[in-house]
Amino acid sequence: MNTPMIIEALVAVQRAILDNESQIESLDRAIGDGDHFINVRRGCEVLVQMSPDLRDMPPGLALHKIGMKLLGTIGGASGPLISSFFMAMGKSLEGLEEPSRAEFAEAFASGVEAIKQRGKADVGEKTMLDVLIPVSRLLIRLVDEDTPLPALCAQLNEEATRNMLATKDMIASKGRASFLGERALGHIDPGCKTCEVTIAAVCATVLQPTESQGAA
């Protein structure tokens, strides 16, 4: 994934987040702080606005700049976590002009690990990691197996959706939802929904060149 593709993905993510505004807001009102969508929308807007400044940067530097910008843009608990994700990815891809799929998968895993360490959370605690960790692990395996891109993206989307839906049956142990106890049951974690939407948008972006060439 080169920097122009990263920029295309940012635009696609912003569009997808706006398209899912009502659902994300509803989920956050039910078990969150009520500001999740506002913060994510603000972050997306700022990143799309700064896209022209990123275009001539190598991917690692562009991702680092994205992380730094989000640190001062996204409020709430998610700001530092998402910023850490992008900065860790940027560090992993430092010096690479055209990262391979394997390099990008490792960078994604580094970003997810940064969220895990900073948030002191793991799978099963009804947070965004319940989508990000399984998707990251699957991405590394599929890349290692040299899975064709369309099949890879389809499986990543399925994994994201399945794990997002699984948070309905979890009792949160992190964030505001942890204070609700069993009252959080039956509700999807809003951060997981945002991650699922984002993953789908990024997959659609990376598939565009493949589909336009008629690849199977």
pLDDT of residue 198: 97
Which of 3.30.565.10, 3.40.50.360, 1.10.1380.10, 1.25.40.340 is the CATH number of 3-212? Answer: 1.25.40.340
Helix (H, G, I), strand (E, B) or coil at 76: coil
pLDDT of residue 1: 83
Nearest-angstrom CA–CA distance, 47 and 66: 7
Query: What is the arithmetic mean of pLDDT over 27-32?
Result: 77
Non-local (6+) Cβ contacts of 111 within 8 A are: 84, 85, 86, 88, 89, 92
For the chain, the domains span 3-212
Q: Which residue has the higher pLDDT, 47 or 178?
A: 47
Nearest-angstrom CA–CA distance, 104 and 75: 27
- Is-contact 111 69, C-beta < 8 A? no
Specify the pTM: 0.90
Helix (H, G, I), strand (E, B) or coil at 188: coil
* pLDDT band at residue 213 under the 50/70/90 scheme: very low
For residue range 81-118, list pLDDT tens digits in order: 999 999 999 999 999 999 999 999 999 999 999 999 99
Nearest-angstrom CA–CA distance, 64 and 180: 36
From residue 3, give the alpha-carbon distance in Å to each of 59, 85, 104, 118, 137. Answer: 5, 17, 12, 26, 24
